[in-house]
């Protein structure tokens, strides 16, 4: 409406528009919650179920052989001086985590040590725990040959 000075007053939005926007926002929240629940509950399979599903399609002997070769490469790089002790322990930790991920389907490559223990992977957790001090602290030197042998033992005994 035009006042006596030629200005329009503020526009009054209809009340139904507010309810429409609020309803659409609540609907979007419900859809987001459903997507969130479905996305993250599907990944929470028990470790035994993930291992069974993964082991059915994985050729364990060939994967084992490949990872033993990768461990040998890390050890050779250490002996040649191309990798320091910290790098050796870090790479062996990653190799072992990827080996378990590839053979058992567990997301070990993104798990903390506590997650590894909780996932019922004691051999992997023990090996990774052994490698943590040399990998992260310079004042804790590690033995690269012993670390490589530990990785080999876990890979060889994996079933």
- pLDDT per residue over 46-72, tens digit each? 666 555 555 557 788 999 999 999 999
pLDDT band per the 50, 70, 90 thresholds, residue 11: confident
CA distance 20 to 148: 63
Structure confidence at residue 142 (pLDDT): 75
**What's this model's pTM, rounded to 2 decimal places?**
0.62
Structure confidence at residue 138 (pLDDT): 67
Q: Round the average pLDDT of the chain to a whole number and report it.
A: 82
**Residue 83 clears pLDDT 80, i.e. is over it:** yes
């Amino acid at each position: 409406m035009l006042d006596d000075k030629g200005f329009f007053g503020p526009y009054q939005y209809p009340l139904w528009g507010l309810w429409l926007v609020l309803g659409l926002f609540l609907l979007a929240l419900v859809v987001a919650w459903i997507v969130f629940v479905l996305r993250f509950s599907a990944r929470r399979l028990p470790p035994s179920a993930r291992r069974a599903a993964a082991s059915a399609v994985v050729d364990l002997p060939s994967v084992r052989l490949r990872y033993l070769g990768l461990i040998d490469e890390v050890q050779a790089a250490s002996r040649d001086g191309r990798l320091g002790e910290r790098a050796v322990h870090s790479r062996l930790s990653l190799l072992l985590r990827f080996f378990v991920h590839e053979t058992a389907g567990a997301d070990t490559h993104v798990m903390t040590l506590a997650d590894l223990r909780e996932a019922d992977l004691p051999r992997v957790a023990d090996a990774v725990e052994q490698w943590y001090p040399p990998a992260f602290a310079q004042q804790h030197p590690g033995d690269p040959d012993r670390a490589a042998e530990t990785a080999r033992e876990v890979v060889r005994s994996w079933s």
